[in-house]
A = this chain, B = another copy of it.
Amino acid sequence: MTLTDVARRAGASTAVVSYVMNNGPRPVAPETRERVLAAAAELNYRPNRIARALRSHTTGVMGLVLADASNPFFGSLARHVEEALGERDKLTLIGNAGFSADRQEHVVERFLAAQVDGLIIVSADGGPDVAAQAEAAGVPAVYVHNQPESARSPVVAADNDAAVHDALAHLRSHGHTQAAFLTGSHDVGPVGRRRHAWEGAVAGTDARLLRCDYTRAAAAELTQRLTAQDAMPPAVVTATDEQAIGVLAGADAAGLSVPDQLALISLDGTPDSAYTAPALTVTEQPLRAMAERAVRLLIDDAPRSPEPHAAASLVVRRSCGCSG
């Protein structure tokens, strides 16, 4: 069923049918409009997105570049982005960059060739400013959650400063005044900002900064090593849930009891964090709000001015020492 079929059936021209289907760009007499709508319904007409794309240079498809969909944090974000996009009648192309700058560029390249209307990039640290490359090709792009060092494109992230302060304040209420901070090896962007907030908050104390890869394995290994050396801090804030879960595994293996001998709070708040043993106290990232903001930025070309970041909310469970 094509436009032409509908036009014939409604006794109208293809132009008019097009105007009706798109609510514009020109007015149509209400009566004609009804006839067209009726014909379209009877014929079960579905506009051909491909033809429309060829003609109008917009595809209704957005590209979502992800570091790794198997990581539940990225997966959750992906789900929210897809939903937010769906509500705006956009389709979502997905691509995994796998923590490699090369692969990320490659994915972006492919998306650009597919004529995506915009790019949402949820990526690991480092690499070139792919958003800038996309914008150079006329395709708007936003970073979500993180961005490469050099980027000037908009980033959508939670209010990380507040999240860190909330976590630290809560630990203080448990009597820990010098919580350590576990971050990645090369933290820049929002994650670096978390570390920075922590540094500001603990300045003057001898709280310790810990670093390891953003993986469960690395965090587990670190925890076991430090515990063996009797050098594990009594309270730790981790930059990511993956690391927190690794710390939990390492503590378990080393016979270190959480929360009795180690109080732990993580800053991601993925669904995973609720079912660890013990359950993790976290500051939950407002993923849905972030996804919506990103979509708004891309589609409405919303003000790129410093909108206040969405707040992360402290979810108290057991790893901090609360009995909940």
| A68 close to B (CB within 8 Å) | yes
Cα-based distance from A60 to B249 in the complex (angstroms): 43
Oligomer: number of copies: 2
CB pair A93–B96 under 8 Å, yes or no, is no
Whether A8 is near chain B, meaning CB under 8 Å from some CB there, is no
B-side contacts of A93, CB under 8 Å: 61, 91-94
When distances are taken between beta carbons in the complex, the residues of chain B under 8 Å from A246 are 275
Q: Contact residues of A with B, CB < 8 Å?
A: 46-51, 53-54, 59-61, 64, 68-72, 74-76, 78-79, 82-83, 86, 91-96, 110-111, 113-115, 216-217, 220, 245-246, 248-249, 252, 270-272, 274-279
B-chain residues with CB within 8 Å of residue A274 when the two chains form the complex: 216
Q: Do residues A113 and B46 form an inter-chain contact, with CB atoms below 8 A?
A: yes
- A sample of 11 more A-B contacts (CB under 8 A), given A71-B72, A91-B111, is A46-B113, A48-B115, A50-B50, A50-B53, A69-B78, A75-B75, A86-B95, A92-B93, A216-B271, A246-B275, A249-B279
Nearest-CB distance from A32 to chain B (Å)?
Answer: 25
| B82 engages A71 (CB within 8 Å) | no
Check A277–B277 contact: CB distance below 8 A. yes
State the CA gap A71–B78 with chains docked (Å).
Answer: 11
Would you give the shortest CB distance from A316 to chain B, in whole angstroms? 16
**B271 and A70 contact, CB distance less than 8 A:** yes
Q: Which chain B residue has the least Cβ–Cβ distance from A252? A: B277
A279 to B54, CA, bound (A): 52
The CA-CA distance from A79 to B103 in the complex, in Å, is: 13
Contacts of A76 in B (CB 8 A): 69-70
